[in-house]
Amino acid sequence: MRFAPVTERLAGLGGAKWAVHAKARALKAAGNPIIELTIGEPDVATPPALLQAASDAMMAGRMGYSNGQGEAGLLQALAARYTARRGRVITPSQVMAWPGTQTVLYGVMSTLLGPGDEVLVGDPMYATYEGVIAATGATMVPVPLRPEAGFRMQAADVAQRITDRSRVLFLNTPHNPTGAMLREADIAALGRLAIKHDLWIVCDEVYEEMVFDGVPFASPLSDPALAKRVVVAASISKSHAAPGFRSGWCVGPEAFVSRALPLAETMLFGNQPFIADATAVAVSAPSPVAGGMVTRFARRANLLADGLAGVPGCHVHRPEAGMFALIDVRAHGMSGEAFAFALLEATGVAVMPGESFGRALAGWLRVSLTQPDDLIAEAAARIAGFVQTRVAA
């Protein structure tokens, strides 16, 4: 039997990247004491007020069909939020609601790309980016995010890779998995390239609320000169500890929304009204849980770095935002995948291999900071013991 070409393009881009996580879950289910530092699920419960808002909306009968763009109340709330945060007027006609950031990115890329097009994207990158690009038939063009540049995308590196087939510059700030944040100067330089070569800028900003002290958040949506070519994506999954709500959105030019609307209507014809109502409540006020997460994740990144200080061949890259820290283990001559599997077998500590996030992180590990402080400290001690045993051998 024959299958659609999209299934071939996506072959190998799904669960295979999460093999270490899957093995850790299997070992845990079998009764083994595993310290799971693989996925980025918030470490706090969804705020009760958000649950109450969803329940109230359901009890009020908000259970019917929606529309392809989103419920009016949510679109208005998001327009007000972005107008206040970005310093320029954003109208409800520039906003679309989708079920989660993953669906947002799939829809956005499907609206902007087709076979033969190219997308410039930072390497390393979140594990699903390759798939949302490949699904369209477009080609991913990795732009190395270099440790010596703080893993921030450099305009000069992008410029070297632009061709006449380039269509989209795909940004992620704050960045997963590195925790790096683009500065205003970075965005300005990248924006000049986008204007010169008539590129769309797509920016995943789902970690906007997860910024540590010291670096202000910057978005390409704030620059009026880029207004006609920027689409940003986000959700309440991280900021409000509500990944199960699957409530995301994008903001862009009205021309983009009008082109994306038939696609959204074909795919799912709107998200649930009761979830939209709860999301409108969430985005209309500061998150009651984001600040606590930021404090804990920053502290745990320091715990990890302190625990591995002086350990041969283990350098911790301290993040500026987000839920993860990176460990450079290239000095041990192993791939990140081989190191992660060996670490899991020997110590019960489960981390993600860097290769799951692109070639540029070969020989690195991504560590989730969403476990309690004592487990982060214990994991650091076990990693240190594992490395010292290997060095001694």
72-112 residue pLDDT tens: 999 999 999 999 999 999 999 999 999 999 999 999 999 99
Q: Are residues 353 and 277 in the same domain?
A: no
* Structural domain ending residue among the three candidates 236, 265, 283: 283
Q: Are residues 195 and 108 in the same domain?
A: yes
* pLDDT > 70: percent of the chain: 99
Over residues 322-351, mean pLDDT: 96
According to the model, what pLDDT value does residue 269 have?
Answer: 82
Over residues 343-352, mean pLDDT: 96
According to the model, what pLDDT value does residue 389 have?
Answer: 82
- In angstroms, the Cα distances linking 209 to 228, 236, 245, 281 are 25, 10, 17, 16
Q: Are residues 234 and 372 in the same domain?
A: no
Q: Are residues 312 and 202 in the same domain?
A: no
Q: Are residues 141 and 205 in the same domain?
A: yes
Q: How far apart are CA 242 and CA 209, in angstroms?
A: 13
According to the model, what pLDDT value does residue 97 have?
Answer: 97
pLDDT at 226 over 90: yes
Tell me how far the alpha carbon of residue 21 is from its chain's centroid: 18
Q: Are residues 41 and 80 in the same domain?
A: no
Q: Are residues 149 and 96 in the same domain?
A: yes
* Predicted confidence (pLDDT) per residue in 117-143, tens digit: 999 999 999 989 999 999 999 999 999
Q: How far apart are CA 271 and CA 236, in angstroms?
A: 14
pTM: 0.94
According to the model, what pLDDT value does residue 213 have?
Answer: 86
- Per the structure, the count of domains in the chain is 2
According to the model, what pLDDT value does residue 268 have?
Answer: 86
According to the model, what pLDDT value does residue 393 have?
Answer: 56
| CATH number of 375's domain | 3.90.1150.10
pLDDT at 53 over 70: yes
Q: How far apart are CA 2 and CA 83, in angstroms?
A: 48
pLDDT at 14 over 70: no
Q: Are residues 237 and 382 in the same domain?
A: no
Domain that holds residue 383: 5-45+289-392
pLDDT at 52 over 70: yes
pLDDT band at 16 (very low <50, low <70, confident <90, very high): confident
Over residues 247-264, mean pLDDT: 97
According to the model, what pLDDT value does residue 12 have?
Answer: 78
* Predicted confidence (pLDDT) per residue in 150-208, tens digit: 999 999 999 999 999 999 999 999 999 999 999 999 999 999 999 999 999 999 999 99
* Structural domain ending residue among the three candidates 238, 262, 283: 283
* Predicted confidence (pLDDT) per residue in 17-41, tens digit: 889 999 999 999 999 999 999 988 8
According to the model, what pLDDT value does residue 140 have?
Answer: 97
pLDDT at 69 over 70: yes
Q: Are residues 11 and 122 in the same domain?
A: no
C-beta atoms surrounding 168 within 10 Å: 25
Q: Are residues 254 and 301 in the same domain?
A: no
Q: Are residues 168 and 210 in the same domain?
A: yes
* Structural domain ending residue among the three candidates 228, 263, 283: 283
Q: Are residues 34 and 53 in the same domain?
A: no
| CATH number of 217's domain | 3.40.640.10
